[in-house]
Amino acid sequence: MRRARASLLIGPLLLASLTLAGCGLRPLYSSGSRGAVAQALGGVEVAPIEGKAGWLVRNALVDRLAAMPKGAPTYRLKIELDDQITGFGIRADDSVTRERRTLRARYQLVEAGRGTVVLDATAGSDAGIDIVSSEYATIAAENTALENLSQVIADQIVARLALYARRTGEASPPQQP
């Protein structure tokens, strides 16, 4: 009985593995720290960004890129942020009951040697905030939303940089340390 069940499971699993192998999917970080993506991300220097949101986004990016092998900076990442809080959910007395915090980033990846912009893109996210009777709680919620949005923006930027590195690194073999 067990053999019959096992053989019923092996067939679909084998078929699924063959299907996935033929679809062309490849790991983004193949070859680990010696791969083209990791080498390219290790050569990205993040320029300072203005304001509290800029400080949070820059620190999140530096944390993510610190895991990559460091080499001479071949790229410089320039970022401009737009941080807005918009009130909505208005009561009869014109007081706001809900806010939306939106953080948008326009970023450019610039080749360090030539100053050429090789990637120009945007990232963004937003979060809803309930307005409560305690002003302290509302300010704390706004700050927490900004911290969370900074992490999301950093994830989006690193993912886009990795895709760029993958696309441009496929033509050349991975660099050796």
Give the span between the Cα atoms of 154 and 123, in whole angstroms. 9
Alpha helices in the chain (DSSP H): 2-21, 36-42, 51-65, 135-169
The two structure tokens encoding residue 130: 């309930």
pTM (2 d.p.): 0.78
**Tens digits of per-residue pLDDT, 127-140?**
999 999 899 999 99
Give the span between the Cα atoms of 53 and 77, in whole angstroms. 16
Give the span between the Cα atoms of 21 and 28, in whole angstroms. 15
| SS3 call for 104 | strand
74 contacts: CB under 8 Å, gap ≥ 6: 40, 43, 44, 111, 112, 113
Q: Are 99 and 88 in contact (CB under 8 A)?
A: yes
Residue 153 in this model has a pLDDT that exceeds 50: yes
Residue 175 in this model has a pLDDT that exceeds 70: no
Q: What structural domains and CATH numbers belong to the chain?
A: 33-169 (3.30.160.150)
**Tens digits of per-residue pLDDT, 96-128?**
899 999 999 999 999 988 999 999 999 999 999
pLDDT given at position 68: 78
